[in-house]
């Protein structure tokens, strides 16, 4: 399983590898929530499972004034055909030198192998082809808890000691995470020390159980995402997106869609006590289902507050029409917020479903 850069960086940081301060954002509206944290220059990085993002236009420079526009630009493009769902906004490093380090298994020697290059960065492949000795490598016993110091020095040549330390930390990640590949390109020096500017980690699928990662191979990327938020989510192939709370209410919404001749695009139960952020993520998720033409939000406020629900829907700001039925705690306030923004609301579940079926034909 290949992790995205931001996921890999979280694991690297746990081993003490320094990574730039960053914010993960799903849509430009989410960036607004974090604007206070953005002070200086930043790099906006598409979180897609694609190599060579830099050359494919997936890494853009910005500052506080241009960050939203820049992120929006990434959200509206594809990187090597992959749509951008999330971006990582990182404080821009003042890079002095870019190194390359990569750890994998040398199958022939049945040992880990560490590759290192003084000239890392986006041109590493070409560099390696042109100059055979541009990349150095070392092998050693996989039973050792650390990379032996003398081998580190041989591998890293004149690179600063902190670079050697980082290589050893990356080896710890590689072992602990049962990785097939752990890579930092570029691993950089800055006036403020050494940083992993990029991160790549592929975990051996055979170890997913041990790593506590769900092994359901049939999950779509969207379903994996839903799992992270703790939503019960099943993607279907109809045109009406469904967001409900409680399995019963959500299932009943699906039944009613079927009854009126429509087809549901998903089942999504946000669970109890959902706040605006969860609702926003739910709306994003369902809006991302390719077949969706309209979204029905059918929520009953108990512990869940309808004004929070409304705020979440508004924060999501998706372009597909959202038809809302909310009832219960703070429903009045929720309706007021939504009507201010021009959302369509109907009083009963029957009405919202009929309306959605009508819209989708």
Instruction: Provide the strand spans (E) within 200-257.
Output: 200-203, 232-235, 240-244
Are the beta carbons of 207 and 178 closer than 8 angstroms?
A: yes
Tell me: does residue 295 bind ligand GDP (CB under 6 A): no
Tell me: does residue 186 bind ligand GDP (CB under 6 A): yes
- Which two structure tokens, joined as six digits, stand for 244? 């409900």
Which residue in 152, 176, 155, 154 sits closest to 165, CA to CA?
Answer: 152
Query: Catalytic: which of 30, 98, 99, 100?
Result: 100
Binding-site size, ligand GDP (CB under 6 A): 18
Element (H, E) at 250: helix 247-259
DSSP letter string over 111-172?
EEEEEEESS-STTHHHHHHH-GGGEEEEE--TT-SS--HHHHHHHHTTS-HHHHHHHHHHHH
Among 25, 197, 268, 289, binds ligand GDP (CB under 6 A): 197
Shortest CB 30 distance to Mn ion, Å: 24
Strand partners, 339: none
Q: Which does 197 bind (CB under 5 to 8 A by kind): ligand GDP, Mn ion, none?
A: ligand GDP
**Piece of the chain touching ligand GDP by CB under 6 A; list 53-61, 139-147, 219-227, 257-265:** 53-61
Tell me: does residue 53 bind ligand GDP (CB under 6 A): yes
Tell me: does residue 235 bind Mn ion (CB under 5 A): no
Q: Which does 93 bind (CB under 5 to 8 A by kind): Mn ion, ligand GDP, none?
A: ligand GDP
183 annotated active-site: yes
The residue among 53 and 86 lying less far from ligand GDP, judged by its C-beta, is: 53
Distance CA 6, CA 15 (A): 15
**Piece of the chain touching ligand GDP by CB under 6 A; list 89-97, 110-118, 205-213, 247-255:** 89-97
Judged by CB under 6 A, the chain residues 117 through 136 that form the site for ligand GDP are: 121-122
Distance CA 301, CA 311 (A): 14
Among 164, 185, 239, 253, binds Mn ion (CB under 5 A): 185
Residue 188: count of CB within 10 angstroms of its CB:
23
Shortest CB 309 distance to ligand GDP, Å: 37
Among 18, 54, 80, 111, binds ligand GDP (CB under 6 A): 54
Judged by CB under 5 A, the chain residues 188 through 207 that form the site for Mn ion are: 198
Shortest CB 121 distance to ligand GDP, Å: 4
Tally the residues of the chain: 361
Residue 223: count of CB within 10 angstroms of its CB:
17
Shortest CB 185 distance to Mn ion, Å: 4
Shortest CB 128 distance to ligand GDP, Å: 15
Tell me the three state secondary structure of residue 234.
Answer: strand
Among 16, 52, 149, 248, binds ligand GDP (CB under 6 A): 52
Residue 317: count of CB within 10 angstroms of its CB:
16
What lies within 8 Å, CB to CB, of 135 at 6+ separation is 100, 115, 116, 117, 124, 128
Q: Which residues bind ligand GDP (CB under 6 A)?
A: 20, 43, 45, 52-54, 59, 90, 92-93, 95, 98, 121-122, 185-186, 197-198
Q: Which residues bind Mn ion (CB under 5 A)?
A: 185, 198
Catalogue the active-site residues.
100, 183
């Amino acid at each position: 399983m290949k992790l995205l850069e931001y996921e890999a960086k979280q694991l690297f940081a746990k081993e003490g590898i320094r990574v730039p301060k960053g914010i993960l954002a799903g849509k430009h509206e989410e960036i607004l929530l974090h604007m206070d944290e953005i002070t200086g220059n930043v790099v906006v990085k598409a979180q897609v499972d694609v190599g060579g993002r830099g050359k494919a236009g997936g890494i853009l420079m910005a500052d506080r004034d241009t960050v939203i526009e820049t992120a929006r630009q990434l959200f509206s493009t594809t990187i090597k055909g992959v749509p951008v769902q999330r971006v990582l906004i990182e404080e821009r490093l003042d890079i002095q030198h870019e190194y390359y380090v990569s750890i994998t298994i040398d199958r022939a020697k049945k040992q880990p192998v560490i590759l290192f290059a003084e000239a890392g960065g986006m041109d590493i492949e070409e560099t390696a082809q042109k100059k055979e000795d541009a990349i150095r490598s070392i092998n050693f016993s996989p039973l050792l808890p650390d990379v032996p110091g003398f081998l580190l020095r041989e591998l890293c040549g004149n690179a600063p000691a902190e670079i050697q330390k980082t290589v050893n930390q990356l080896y710890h990640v590689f072992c602990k995470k049962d990785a097939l590949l752990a890579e930092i390109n570029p691993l950089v020096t800055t006036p403020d020390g050494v940083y992993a500017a990029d991160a790549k980690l592929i975990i051996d699928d055979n170890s997913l159980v041990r790593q506590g990662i769900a092994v359901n191979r049939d999950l779509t990327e969207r379903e994996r995402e839903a799992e992270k938020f703790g939503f019960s989510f099943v993607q279907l192939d109809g045109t009406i997106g469904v967001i409900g709370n409680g399995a019963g209410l959500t299932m009943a919404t699906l039944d009613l869609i079927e009854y009126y001749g429509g087809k549901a695009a998903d089942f999504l139960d946000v669970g109890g006590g959902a706040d605006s952020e969860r609702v926003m993520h739910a709306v994003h998720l369902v809006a991302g289902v390719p077949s969706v033409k309209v979204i029905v939000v059918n929520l009953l406020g108990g512990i869940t507050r309808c004004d929070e629900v409304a705020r979440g829907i508004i924060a999501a700001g998706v372009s597909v029409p959202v038809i809302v039925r909310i009832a219960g705690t703070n429903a009045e306030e929720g309706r007021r917020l939504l009507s201010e923004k021009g959302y369509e609301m109907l009083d009963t579940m029957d009405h919202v479903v009929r309306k959605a079926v009508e819209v989708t034909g």
